[in-house]
Amino acid sequence: MTTVNIHEAKTHLSALLASVERGEEVVIARRGKPVARLVCAEVPERKPIIFGRFEGLVHVDPSFYDEMTEEELAQWYGDDPEDPPNDK
């Protein structure tokens, strides 16, 4: 375990981080009293992406893929004359 004061930590941060990455523990002290400890952070294990894992959980009606009528397109894009604008 290495102990450094705040000035040394600021000056040599990159070297201290390299030491921490190698598994060493670094203590930062103020006026000789420990204030902080630098230790290597644990890297979370990445889970693999599984394609198709939601298969069968969502049902989409086949008509969803049908072409929209002119009226439906007007409603979709907000051009429907029967639907007054929502001015707030």
For residue 44, is pLDDT > 80? Answer: no
CATH number of the domain within which 13 lies: 3.40.1620.10
Q: Is 26 exposed, middle or buried (0-12, 13-18, 19+ CB in 10 A)?
A: buried
In a domain, residue 26? The reply is yes
pTM above 0.85, yes or no: no
Highest mean pLDDT among 16-30, 33-47, 74-88: 16-30
| Number of structural domains the chain divides into | 1
| Domain extent at residue 18 | 2-38
Identify whether 21 is part of a domain: yes
Q: What is the mean pLDDT of the chain?
A: 87
CA dihedral 61, 64, 70, 74 (to 10 degrees): 110
